[in-house]
Amino acid sequence: ACDYLDQAELMQRFGIDRSAAILSGASASANPGQLTAGLLSVAQARGAEIASPVEITDLAETGDSAALATREGGVLTAEQVVFCTGYEFLPVMESRAHRITSTWALASRPRIARPDWLDRSLVWEASEPYLYFRSARDGRIIAGGEDMDDPEAYRDPARLHAKARRIALKLRNLCGIEIGSPAYVWAAPFGNTSDGLPIIDRVPGFSCAHAVMGFGGNGITFSMIAAQIIAARLSDKRDPDEELFAFR
Ligand SMILES: Cc1cc2nc3c(=O)[nH]c(=O)nc-3n(C[C@H](O)[C@H](O)[C@H](O)COP(=O)(O)OP(=O)(O)OC[C@H]3O[C@@H](n4cnc5c(N)ncnc54)[C@H](O)[C@@H]3O)c2cc1C
């Protein structure tokens, strides 16, 4: 369920001066490093073997299994392979529907003065470019956005600091949060498909290789959908939503 807040209610409850907002209860936040470590340790406890670092450079199907070549010259075999390569598309699945942009983010020092509601809310301003922010348990503010339609812009160190200043200024203007100089700043390539949906499908020409790629900014939601679709496929079942995410 979600509520529509008009300008007056948005100002009264959150002190934000914008024409309207949608307030929904369906989001959650997590520390991504801890979340990933937790998932890997559960997988390990259930018998998964973790090999890292390994770069896969080639794939071939041999009878009813797959052979994977590694950068170091080794070969791994598996009955089924699932490539979860993020924004790096497999060469056989390069797609014109996928494009790489640049994005920036920062984390402030701990214990920044902030409105009480921010510790219970995640904020996304759907402007162009967008702004998102939340607080962390130690009172840091994590904020980001300022995307540019350029796959290389994130490499520019001067731009990194200019973008961080801009994000900090937007935070101050939107809800009066003063973060001073950030403790950390990042820039990264960011991949998006033209329709906003990821690709969750078989690798073309292979029966035992699958790919899960191109989550855009919605990794938490799409990874769950991908887990359901791929798990169904590996058990010879069909997920009713699978066509939405077919390779295109
Ligand atoms: C700035 C930013 C903010 C975001 N905010 C959110 C958010 O608020 N909410 C949300 O849900 N999502 C968010 N996302 C998206 C989310 O982070 C991603 O969707 C998620 O991390 C994807 O996870 P993954 O494991 O599928 O891929 P990744 O985490 O990208 O991991 C893929 C891995 O595969 C490796 N790899 C690639 N090719 C090969 C190969 N040939 N051999 C071996 N390894 C290979 C890569 O090196 C990488 O380590 C954000 C992303 C960015 C960049």
User: How far apart are the C-alpha atoms of 224 and 180, rounded to whole Å?
Assistant: 37
Tell me which residue range forms the domain holding 93: 51-97+195-245
The answer to whether residues 118 and 145 belong to one domain is: yes
For residue 126, what is the domain's CATH number? 3.30.9.10
The answer to whether residues 199 and 93 belong to one domain is: yes
How far is the first Cα of the chain from the last one, in angstroms, to the nearest whole number? 32
Please check whether residue 199 is in contact with residue 211, taking contact to mean a CB–CB distance below 8 angstroms.
Answer: yes
The answer to whether residues 91 and 105 belong to one domain is: no
Task: Supply 209's token pair.
Answer: 């290789």
The answer to whether residues 135 and 188 belong to one domain is: yes
The answer to whether residues 20 and 6 belong to one domain is: yes
The answer to whether residues 137 and 180 belong to one domain is: yes
pLDDT in tens, 35-69: 999 999 999 999 999 989 999 999 999 888 999 99
List Cβ neighbours of 171 (8 Å cut-off, separation of 6 or more): 131, 133, 141, 143, 177, 179
The answer to whether residues 11 and 63 belong to one domain is: no
d(CA 67, ligand 1 centre) in Å: 24
The answer to whether residues 111 and 185 belong to one domain is: yes
**Structural domains in the chain (count):** 3
User: How far apart are the C-alpha atoms of 164 and 114, rounded to whole Å?
Assistant: 18
The answer to whether residues 134 and 155 belong to one domain is: yes
Q: How far is CA 210 from CA 45, 172, 218, 242, in A?
A: 24, 45, 20, 13
pLDDT in tens, 174-228: 999 999 999 999 999 999 999 999 999 999 999 999 999 999 989 989 999 999 9
For residue 84, what is the domain's CATH number? 3.50.50.60
The answer to whether residues 92 and 199 belong to one domain is: yes
Residues with a CB atom less than 6 Å from ligand 1: 55-56, 84-88, 103, 105, 144, 188, 190, 215, 217-220, 223
User: How far apart are the C-alpha atoms of 127 and 20, rounded to whole Å?
Assistant: 12
User: How far apart are the C-alpha atoms of 85 and 225, rounded to whole Å?
Assistant: 16
